[in-house]
Amino acid sequence: MAEGCEVWFYHLESTSLDQALPELLEKTLARGWKAIVRTRQPERIEHLDGWLWSYRDDSFLPHAPDAEPGAARQPVLLTSGFDNPNRADALFLVDGAEPGELTGYTRCVVLFDGADEDQLVTARGQWTAIKAKGFAVSYWRQQGRGWTKVA
């Protein structure tokens, strides 16, 4: 078994990525961890940046796109790259982003939309490849507003 990083697959069924991601990032920061959110679509960084500032009136989620000065000091870094400049503990993969090297991360969270066939196919392929490398993997399915570990 590969050392270190646990990989959790989150199957979005009743909420969108925009609804699920901030809550998961808040839980990550509450643990004292830093995070990277990786997308394969650089244009999505702008959307996520705006959304994480405005998703809720009573919350503050410190983050920055990787192109901003000082971004490496941010607790949450938005990127399409494979580096880990903020020394994040958690890697969030969205929009079918590839994991790259998982060494150095404590957890990798793969979020995929159950209504998007392309994302389902990508997530299945990632599950197979990551499991074959010996990483501990688990599958979480959305049940109402919560999550249930299925595998």
Residues 36-84 have pLDDT tens digits of: 999 998 889 999 999 998 888 887 789 999 999 998 999 999 999 999 9
Question: What's the domain count of the chain?
Answer: 1
Residue listed under structure tokens 């004292």: 32
Question: Could you tell me which residue, 4 or 121, shows the higher pLDDT?
Answer: 121
Q: In whole numbers, what is the pLDDT of the chain averaged over residues?
A: 92
Amino acid at 88: A
Residue 1 resides in a domain: no
The confidence score (pLDDT) of residue 131 equals: 94
pLDDT at residue 116 tops 70: yes
Examine residue 64 and state whether it is found in any structural domain, yes or no. Answer: yes
Predicted model pTM? 0.94
Residue 56 falls within a domain, yes or no?
yes
Give domain status of residue 84, yes or no. yes
**pLDDT of 3 over the 90 cut:** no
For residue 72, what is the domain's CATH number? 3.40.50.10110
- Show the domain range for 141: 6-149
In-domain check, residue 49:
yes
CA 87-104-85 angle, to 5 degrees, is: 25
Per-residue confidence band for 146, with pLDDT thresholds at 50, 70 and 90: confident
Question: Can you give the pLDDT at residue 2?
Answer: 54
As a three-state string, the secondary structure of the chain is CCCCCEEEEEEECCCCHHHHHHHHHHHHHHCCCCEEEEECCHHHHHHHHHHHHHCCCCCCCCCEECCCCCHHHCCEEEECCCCCCCCCCEEEEECCCCCCCCCCCCEEEEEEECCCHHHHHHHHHHHHHHHHCCCEEEEEEEECCEEEECC
